[in-house]
Structure 1
Amino acid sequence: MKKKTIVIVDDHLLFAQSLESLISKLEEYEVLAILKNGKELTQYYKHKRKVPDLILLDVKMPVMDGVQTMQWLKEHRSEQKVLALTMEDDEDTIIKMIRAGAKGYLLKDIHPENFEFAMKMVIEQGFYYSGKIENALRHFEEGGGSVEFHERLTDKERGFLKLACSELTYKDIAGEMGLSPKTIENYRETVFRKLEVKTRVGLVIYCMKNKLFKV
């Protein structure tokens, strides 16, 4: 049986080695390398080493962090499948990683069985998201989030939606649109309701699914 290959990119050596040990116990997988940051990953590719089926990528790392690494991969290795494995669960970080092309986003305290399932899903199906992201995705997989929903938005609401899919904070969006933070809050609640999503992550996924504009 041909094993699926993994590269771990994480500056916490103890965690990375523990992860390698866990993966080595799974018959279907093998770890090709453990790298400390995104810079080492770029060097890995430049030396024309074996391209892995999956990269397990930390987000907070020195030299070249997860977001910077994803941006590099998006430009140079867009076909590479990446599963973010991190302690960072804030919306802004999740959105940055998704927009940069991460196919999955997991917290490091995930149960080993769920972790194995997540690797399998990313390699075979193309994506896997847990927690708040998975809930947002489930809405679309069950038939929600059709193109008809965003047709209900006003021009101002569409403008807000586009900015909400950027890296701007809600305060920045208010300044960009020349509106008060309270008005932006009202737009947010209205757009959430009309698109039937519950988080900003859900908005980003909605726009990606329906290809409303580049995110």
Structure 2
Amino acid sequence: MYKVALVDDHTLLSEAIAGLVRRFENFEVVNVSVNGRELVDFIEANPHMQPDVVLMDVKMPVMGGVETTQYLTKYYPEIKVLALSVEEEEGVVMQMIRAGAKGYLLKDTRKSILEQALNEVLEHGYYYTNTVERIVKKTERLKDQEIVLKEREIEFIKHACTEMTYKEIAEKMFLSPKTIEGYRESVFQKLGLKNRTGLVIYAIKNNIFVP
């Protein structure tokens, strides 16, 4: 049985999701927490009950989804985090992926998709759906293509995976904002990407950036 933990400050919703997961084959719910701090305390106090997967909300009080995912990625890298949120803005998705989330689902996802996501994140290491899924499929196709990135382009990609703005990246690389804009356009064209979220996913999946 795979162990699942849920983190969401909406108690009724989290209990409903927990009920769904309990009906999935080979899954058991070991913890339901209202924030990341509560989850971390549970894991540290009950190492024998450490979850294999955590269904993580993004916006929560005390310790939110991004901060909690960063903590788990650093101290418990074997735990897979699957974001489960109402947030679908590109910036929010990118924050969770950068933090180490292995997938991103919206809360209106069908239960069959949730079950599939849990299985695939355990079997393959990643699962994305909605707008993120289209980006990932594109990055998967790029694996079969020979893409040559220059050293400075790789440096730019690493900086682009952080919270820095393009202006701050220009200052960090001692280049003009116009030059950085050129790097961005060049990298996006080479990789067939249209936004920064896709770039972050590509960087993580190709070990250019490690959360």
- Give the TM interval when normalised to the shorter protein: 0.7 to 0.9
Question: Does the CA contact (< 8 Å) of 1:92 and 1:167 recur in 2?
Answer: no
Aligned to 2:73: 74
Partner Cα separation in structure 2 for residue 27 and residue 146 of structure 1: 35
Aligned to 2:188: 192
Aligned CA distance change for structure 1 residues 213 and 52 (closer, same or farther; 3 Å): closer
Aligned CA distance change for structure 1 residues 199 and 117 (closer, same or farther; 3 Å): same
Partner Cα separation in structure 1 for residue 94 and residue 120 of structure 2: 20
Q: Where does 1:24-173 land on structure 2 (aligned, <5 Å)?
A: 24-48=22-46, 49-142=48-141, 144-145=142-143, 148-151=146-149, 153=150, 156-173=152-169
Name the aligned partner's letter for residue 87 of structure 2.
Answer: E
Partner Cα separation in structure 2 for residue 194 and residue 90 of structure 1: 25
Name the aligned partner's letter for residue 23 of structure 2.
Answer: K
Aligned to 2:20: 22
Name the aligned partner's letter for residue 157 of structure 2.
Answer: L
Name the aligned partner's letter for residue 195 of structure 2.
Answer: T
- Displacement of 1:165: 1.4
Unmatched tracts of structure 2, length 5 or more? none
For residues 89-146 of structure 1, what are the alpha-carbon distances to aligned partners after superposition, in whole Å with 9 as ceiling and x for unaligned?
223332232222211111111122111111111122211011232222212433x245
Aligned CA distance change for structure 1 residues 164 and 19 (closer, same or farther; 3 Å): same
Unmatched tracts of structure 1, length 5 or more? none
Residue of 176, 180, 191 corresponding to 1:179: 176
Aligned CA distance change for structure 1 residues 80 and 213 (closer, same or farther; 3 Å): closer
- Displacement of 1:186: 4.1
Count of residues paired in the alignment: 209
- Percent sequence identity is 44
Partner Cα separation in structure 2 for residue 89 and residue 172 of structure 1: 25
Q: TM-score, normalised by structure 1?
A: 0.85
- Displacement of 1:174: 4.1
Name the aligned partner's letter for residue 202 of structure 1.
Answer: G
Query: What SS does the aligned partner of 1:149 have?
Result: coil
Question: Does the CA contact (< 8 Å) of 2:161 and 2:209 recur in 1?
Answer: no
Query: What SS does the aligned partner of 2:147 have?
Result: helix
Q: TM-score, normalised by structure 2?
A: 0.86
Partner Cα separation in structure 2 for residue 176 and residue 148 of structure 1: 29
- Displacement of 1:25: 2.9
Partner Cα separation in structure 1 for residue 62 and residue 107 of structure 2: 21
Aligned to 1:204: 200
Query: What SS does the aligned partner of 2:73 have?
Result: helix
- Displacement of 1:64: 0.5
Aligned CA distance change for structure 1 residues 25 and 212 (closer, same or farther; 3 Å): closer
Question: Does the CA contact (< 8 Å) of 1:74 and 1:100 recur in 2?
Answer: yes
Question: Does the CA contact (< 8 Å) of 1:103 and 1:122 recur in 2?
Answer: yes
Question: Does the CA contact (< 8 Å) of 2:84 and 2:104 recur in 1?
Answer: yes
